[in-house]
Amino acid sequence: MIRWLAAVGFALMLAAPAGAVNVKTLNAVPGAPVWFAEDHNVGLIALSASFPAGSSYDPAGKSGLAALAAALMDEGAGPLASDAFQSALASKGIRLEVECDRDYTVVSLVTLSATAKEAFRLLSLALSKPRFDPETAARVKIAMLQDMQRDREDPSVVAEKGFFSLYFGPYTYGRPVGGDPAGLSSVSAQELHAFASTHWVRGGLKIAAAGDASPAAMTALIRSAFANLPAAAPPLPPPPLRAGAPGLHILPMDTPQPSVFFGAKGLLRSDRDYLAALIANYILGGGDASRLTADLREQRGLTYDVSTGLAPLRRAGLIVGTVATRPDAVRRTITLIRTTMSRFATEGPTEQELSDAKQYLNGSFPLSFTSDQDTAARLGEFQREGLPLEFLSRRADLINMVSMADVRRAARTLFDPSKLTIVVAGSLPSTNTEPADSP
Amino acid sequence: MCRAWLVAAVLSSAILPAQAQPAKAFQFVLQNGLQVVVVPDHRAPVVTQMVAFKVGAVDDPPGVSGLAHFFEHMMFRGTRAVPGTGYSQTMARNGGDDNAFTTHDYTVFYDQIAKDKLRLAAHLEADRMANLDLSDAAVSAERDVVLEERRLHVDSDPEALTEEQAEAALYLSHPYGRPVIGWPEEIRHIGRAEAEDFYKRHYAPNNAILVVAGDVTPEEVRAAAEAEYGALQAHELGARVDYAQPKRLGETRLIVNRKDAKVPLFLRLYRVESYAEAAPGEAEALEVLARLLGGDATSALYRRLVVEKRIATDVSVEYDGYARDAGEFSISATPRPGVALDAIERAIDEVLNSYVHHAPSKPDLARAKAQLVAGATFRRDSQFEMASAYARALAVGLTVFDVQQWPARIQNVRPGDVQSAAASGLDRVESATAYLLPKP
């Protein structure tokens, strides 16, 4: 992507499909793609900056380091201790949110354009001079440890964490984003500083912005926050060692509604068949009009929500799905998912389903670009997926070019029920009788 | 309409130097009584259509709590012309997203779609306002779906269960005490007859508000609304019961012990005035008070309990004032491991007490207002947020003018107003306090 950016150069205008949004690239930060959608209508600026600082970068024994660093990003920087930093943001109504996932730490900033300089000054401080004061870090650690404790109440979180652990094993992607108690507790201020200075960096950084600034002003704002960060990108974490633990795994807990998380090997975002997989997934379980929703929810009332999705992590692709239902219907629900999936994998979609899917995926695309905040967030997603800016204008054609044979191939390869790792958080009755809940 | 707001923005320039223009909104009424609001936003070729019916969980018949919410689900279950799940299928096929939600006072259906599909979206919405065709099979399956929804969002979440219990206690016999989703035993009583009766009594153009935000002109919306909704017949509505909000004579306290809870929670709810009930400025003062007490890490309760005394890990305060009857002011806090909930409660009451006896400092008040007013600008960025703001306001009896004045009214809240809100609004007699405790 960096090579592509260099070739395109400064401020190339690209019209996105159906006039969804006009995005320029700004030559603001050496080595980092910067996409900007100019819009003077509302008077705010939204920014989404993605750092190569996800939980998969946590060293062995320090699970939770990346997430703790992210949680501390707005807890004091430079001369401002935590409360002074928070007050500086709040007194201007500036919103700074930091989220950590398996690959990235994503910083979202929303500010009135009138307070943009101050917002970016504070962001610059947070990124380049984080304090990680011991008392503050201790307070945030305790809150995160308590979150882990509370997660044990929630069957959907137990199932998801269990899935990643079983699927990938105890390394990189297998560990929970928020860490484990031993790892998180052991993180020192020194380790936080070392992590920030090697991962909150220009190398691998991606920036998307939208809103009320001229390209020149936006360039200056972005430079003020990011240009002086270290250049070197951290080495990518190793690829996962294990991929999948097919079969049914039960994590016993007492709950009125067991939660199921299932998944199997999927595609990297760079795979040629990715859009075919996107279409196949939409038809099987990706939308309100999906086969799984029709079979499980609409016809049988088995669940409030059943859905599948693609998870294109940087080092591994997954297909994943979730469903939750009453204890005595779990086995039947899993059987139905397997059956629906298997039929889809064998038969592929109908012509109508294929054309409906393409119309939805293309027709709904502009809906993500109706606000500056959504635009910045969506552009950031495309950047994290490693897509070039041209993708915005080519996406509709690329989707239309996917053939029935492509989607059948994707469905056959990806949606094979025998390959599913299925994790249930909850207790199942041993018998296989499931009377309907209602009279 | 816009002028007063601009004047206020200029007066407040010390705090927010460059206030952008408020979003313009246009309003008209069709002959059949359908109220229409248009909020043009031409940045993207997309529209958001929202229809709010002035019917909600307060209108559930006795013994059938959850009917309004259940009925919201049934609106996606087909008409004579668009049978089965054809509504969402047609929307999806046309690149549209759609959903709905129900509150105690109103029920909202919304969709977002390319602007050249507005007529289609209006056609489908008007169709299901009058021509719903329910089957026993659909009713029965959807009832199970709602029971699963309840298990997902309430029954498997000890904090949600605790809040449900506290609300049931707070409102005495007023139906705000019944959960919108309904009690499980009563959801099971819902049948096709109840649903059809509810539809006849409450779903009519003269009980609805249509808001269209996005890339349209008022003229385009008028034409689409006349063509698609204009032929719907107004009809007599089922009378809304005027429930008393009985005077409370003492506070309620409850202790919820749960095996499934891993972390304790302190929760206090106050029955307070809503925007619909309150004298001018009073609801806004509660809004500012909520921000000052627990809006973020700079708020008084967070600073005292989490940062200074280190007895809590999180504190949250919210004011929900968009209701026809009472509003609700809620305070919740999670103790640090090992800290007893009564220590949390004492610390919270000390802070509340200080707000009763002292007006907030100028910097604190300015910060809370800056956040609230900036938040209004951030909401104006979103078609959905703008449509929601108008829909909920009109649904509880407020006006378009009220929505547009809100930032100026927040700016006008004086220190003494916040003190009065703390002193008279947060009355312990008008409260329910719940402790959620993990049971070993």
d(CA A263, CA A225): 39
Question: Is pLDDT at B1 greater than 80 in this prediction?
Answer: no
Question: Is pLDDT at A304 greater than 60 in this prediction?
Answer: yes
User: Alpha carbon B206 to chain centroid distance?
Assistant: 22
d(CA A320, CA A170): 19
> Which one of A153, A324, A360 has the shortest CB-CB distance to B93?
A360
d(CA A376, CA A48): 6
Q: From the CA of A267, how many Å to the nearest CA of chain B? A: 25
> Which one of A298, A301, A370 has the shortest CB-CB distance to B383?
A370
Is A202 domain-assigned? yes
Question: Is pLDDT at B153 greater than 80 in this prediction?
Answer: yes
B292 and B188 share one domain:
no
Q: From the CA of B163, how many Å to the nearest CA of chain A? A: 16
A217 and A359 share one domain:
no
pLDDT of residue A20: 58
Is A340 domain-assigned? yes
A177 and A312 share one domain:
no
Query: What chain B residue is nearest to A352 in terms of C-alpha separation?
Result: B93
Confidence of residue A431 (pLDDT cuts 50, 70, 90): low
Catalytic entry in B72, B273, B277, B430: B72
d(CA A434, CA B317): 42
Q: Which domain holds residue A72?
A: 2-226
Question: Is pLDDT at B422 greater than 50 in this prediction?
Answer: yes
Mean pLDDT of A418-426: 97
Is A231 domain-assigned? no
Does A438 contact B at CB distance below 8 Å?
A: yes
B267 and B343 share one domain:
yes
A264 and A213 share one domain:
no
Interface with chain A: mutation pick from B41, B110, B144, B265, highest number of A CBs within 10 Å: B144
Question: Is pLDDT at B3 greater than 70 in this prediction?
Answer: no
B29 and B171 share one domain:
yes
A45 and A117 share one domain:
yes
Is B137 domain-assigned? yes
Mean pLDDT value across chain A: 93
| Domain of residue A314, CATH code | 3.30.830.10
Mean pLDDT of B302-315: 97
The DSSP bridge partners found for residue A298 are none
SS (H, E, C) A271-325: CCCHHHHHHHHHHHHHCCCCHHHHHHHHCCCCCCCEEEEEEECCCCEEEEEEEEC
Q: Show the CA angle centred on residue A98, arms to residues A96 and A104, nearest 5°.
A: 145
Is B7 domain-assigned? no
Query: B141 and A299: CB-CB below 8 Å?
Result: yes
Q: Is B350 a catalytic residue?
A: no
B203 and B116 share one domain:
yes
B381 and B433 share one domain:
yes
Query: What chain A residue is nearest to B381 in terms of C-alpha separation?
Result: A371
A191 and A122 share one domain:
yes
A-chain residues near B339 (CB < 8 A): none
pLDDT of residue A243: 81
B266 and B402 share one domain:
yes
Which A positions 328-357 lie with beta carbon below 8 A of chain B?
Answer: 356
d(CA A148, CA A22): 42
B167 and B114 share one domain:
yes
Mean pLDDT of B401-428: 97
B52-93 tens-digit pLDDT: 999 999 999 999 999 999 999 999 999 999 999 999 999 999
Q: Among residues A293, A53, A333, A322, which one has the least CA distance to residue A161?
A: A322
B-chain residues near A114 (CB < 8 A): 16-19
Does B158 contact A at CB distance below 8 Å?
A: yes
pLDDT of residue A9: 30
Is B290 domain-assigned? yes
pLDDT of residue B182: 98
B174 and B65 share one domain:
yes
Question: Is pLDDT at B396 greater than 80 in this prediction?
Answer: yes
A200 and A261 share one domain:
no
A258 and A182 share one domain:
no
B-chain residues near A323 (CB < 8 A): none
B169 and B69 share one domain:
yes
Is A298 domain-assigned? yes
**What is the percent of chain A where pLDDT is above 70?**
93
pLDDT of residue A435: 40
| Domain of residue B214, CATH code | 3.30.830.10
Least confident range from A9-23, A244-258, B419-433: namely A9-23
B257 and B180 share one domain:
no
Confidence of residue B22 (pLDDT cuts 50, 70, 90): low
Which B positions 29-58 lie with beta carbon below 8 A of chain A?
Answer: 41, 43-46, 48
User: For residue A422, what are its two tokens?
Assistant: 């299925």
Question: Is pLDDT at B15 greater than 50 in this prediction?
Answer: no
A20 and A82 share one domain:
yes
Query: A324 and B152: CB-CB below 8 Å?
Result: yes
Residue B377's identity, in one-letter code, is T
Query: A43 and B18: CB-CB below 8 Å?
Result: yes
User: Which of residues B229, B262, B293 is at a domain's end?
Assistant: B229
Query: A255 and B260: CB-CB below 8 Å?
Result: yes
A361 and A413 share one domain:
yes
A55-93 tens-digit pLDDT: 999 999 999 999 999 999 999 999 999 999 999 999 999
Question: Is pLDDT at A229 greater than 70 in this prediction?
Answer: yes
ipTM of the complex: 0.92
Residue B81 per-residue DSSP state: S
- Kindly list the distances between the CA atom of residue B157 and the CA atoms of A152, A341, B259, B315, B319, in Å, as whole numbers in the listed order: 11, 30, 11, 18, 22
Q: Among residues B62, B59, B63, B57, which one has the least CA distance to residue B189?
A: B63
B72 and B213 share one domain:
yes
Does B6 contact A at CB distance below 8 Å?
A: no
Does B260 contact A at CB distance below 8 Å?
A: yes
d(CA B421, CA B283): 8
A128 and A277 share one domain:
no
B240-299 tens-digit pLDDT: 899 999 999 999 999 999 999 999 999 999 999 999 999 999 999 999 999 999 989 999
Instruction: Compute the Cα dihedral for A419, A424, A428, A434 and give only its sign.
Output: negative
Is B235 domain-assigned? no
Confidence of residue A12 (pLDDT cuts 50, 70, 90): very low
A285 and A363 share one domain:
yes
A304 and A218 share one domain:
no
Does A252 contact B at CB distance below 8 Å?
A: no
- Residue pointed to by tokens 């380049």: A128
Q: From the CA of B30, how many Å to the nearest CA of chain A? A: 28
Q: From the CA of B440, how many Å to the nearest CA of chain A? A: 13
Higher pLDDT, A298 or A243: A298
Work out how many domains chain B is built from and give that number. 2
Mean pLDDT of A304-316: 97
Query: A438 and B371: CB-CB below 8 Å?
Result: no
Is B236 domain-assigned? no
The torsion angles phi and psi of B204, rounded to 5 degrees, stand at -160, 155
Task: Characterize A132-148 residue by residue with b for buried, 16 or more Cβ atoms within 10 angstroms of its Cβ, and e for exposed.
Answer: beeebbebbbbbbbbbb
Confidence of residue B440 (pLDDT cuts 50, 70, 90): confident
Is A437 domain-assigned? no
User: Which of residues A226, A256, A271 is at a domain's end?
Assistant: A226
Q: How many CA atoms lie within 13 A of A355 on its CB side?
A: 4
d(CA A399, CA A281): 13
B-chain residues near A80 (CB < 8 A): none
pLDDT of residue A242: 81
B412 and B276 share one domain:
yes
Confidence of residue B19 (pLDDT cuts 50, 70, 90): very low
Does A32 contact B at CB distance below 8 Å?
A: no
Q: Which domain holds residue B74?
A: 23-229
pLDDT of residue A287: 83
A137-165 tens-digit pLDDT: 999 999 999 999 999 999 999 999 999 99
Work out how many domains chain A is built from and give that number. 2
Question: Is pLDDT at A3 greater than 80 in this prediction?
Answer: no
A-chain residues near B288 (CB < 8 A): none
B-chain residues near A86 (CB < 8 A): 296-298
pLDDT of residue A429: 80
Does A155 contact B at CB distance below 8 Å?
A: yes
Is B370 domain-assigned? yes
Does B143 contact A at CB distance below 8 Å?
A: yes
Question: Is pLDDT at A247 greater than 70 in this prediction?
Answer: yes
User: Which of residues B229, B260, B281 is at a domain's end?
Assistant: B229
